[in-house]
Amino acid sequence: MSVITDTWYITMRDLRARIRMPVFIFMTLFQPILWLVLFTQIFKSLGGMLGPGGGSYLQFFAPGVLVMTVLFGSAFSGFGMLWDIDTGVLSKMLATPVTRISVIAGRIVATVVVLLIQALIIIILALIMGVHFETGVPGVLFTFFLLALLGLGFAAFSNGLALLLKRQETVMAVTNLLTMPLMFLSSLMMPAALLPGWLNKVRLVNPIDYAVVGARDLISNGYIWHDLWLCFVVLAALAVAGVAFGTLMFRARAE
């Protein structure tokens, strides 16, 4: 199956390139640490407002950091594609018999792999800082699965956006315009009970919120299946839609 081998080679190319950039490794490791430590310090006193049972803001926010990391990591995946377009790497590849779809699939898979490594770092760090994982290892794996769907959807969407808009500046502007509200219009930083009414309605159409709710259930509350089931459906739909959009844009460009 050449589509699988081609995807593998392109994934490895992408990962290899990232590993060789010291700045990239530093950012990958440092960013989640920064967010986890910094945000939990800033909002420390919110711990008491988290409702009955209390709990720490760290316990509340750790799933949010996971989602944030995946959101920002995947939303910028398309910049690699832009680089390949601008430097002529993409054209040259497409003049070979390489399976077309592998060229975009490899990049997306590489993005998701890196994001899951970041997620693992966050979880280890959270454990050290004293976060309690209600559902244990199986729950963490389930969280990874939900995060992978989220990353897949956004990475594919970002690549599609890059192929559609073609210019660094425009893609950057649109990406920022989308990611920031997605993060804030959810219960990522603030419990739903403390959000204003309108925001609680808006967050119902925000896929990020589903990822946050799912991850928070698994880490802090346990298997709340009616939540988790909905999270899975929404994130799977997001992944399918993202991949469809990315593939469509790629086909328009490549064929």
Partner 1 sequence: MNAIETHQLTKVFPGDIRAVDGIDFEVKDGEIFAFLGPNGAGKTTTIKMLNTLIPPTSGTATVVGLDVVKNAIEVRKQIGYAAQDVGVDEHATGKENLTLYGHFYRLDGKTIKERVKEIFDLVGLTGSENRMVSTYSGGMRKRLDLAMGLIHQPRVMFLDEPTTGLDPQTRASIWEYIRKLVKTRGMTIFLTTHYMEEADRLADRIAIIDLGKIIALGTADELKRSIGGDVVTVTPCEDNDEKCKEFVSRSEAALAGKPFITGTKATDHELAVYVNDGASAIPSIMHLLSGQGIEVKTISMSRPSLDDVFLKYTGKTIRAEEGSRTTFAQLVRMRDRRQR
Residues that bind partner 1 (CB under 8 A): 2, 5-6, 9, 13, 16-17, 20-21, 87-98
Q: Which of 34, 40, 220 is nearest to 131 (CA)?
A: 220
| Calpha distance 151→165 (Å, rounded) | 21
CB 165, min distance to partner 1, A:
17
Residue (45 or 96) nearer to partner 1, CB: 96
User: Which amino acid appears at position 180 of this protein?
Assistant: M
User: Which amino acid appears at position 56 of this protein?
Assistant: S
Residue (94 or 195) nearer to partner 1, CB: 94
| Calpha distance 215→231 (Å, rounded) | 9
CB 92, min distance to partner 1, A:
3
CB 80, min distance to partner 1, A:
10
Residue (5 or 170) nearer to partner 1, CB: 5
CB 10, min distance to partner 1, A:
8
CB 121, min distance to partner 1, A:
23
Residue (41 or 91) nearer to partner 1, CB: 91
CA distances, 251 to each of 8, 90, 108, 175 (Å): 20, 13, 15, 22
Residue (19 or 180) nearer to partner 1, CB: 19
145-178 per-residue burial string, b: 16 or more CB within 10 A, e: under 16: ebbbbbbbbbbbbbbbbbbbbeeeeebeebbeeb
Residue (16 or 201) nearer to partner 1, CB: 16
Handedness of CA 203, 204, 207, 209 (dihedral sign): positive
Q: Encoding tokens for residue 228?
A: 């988790």
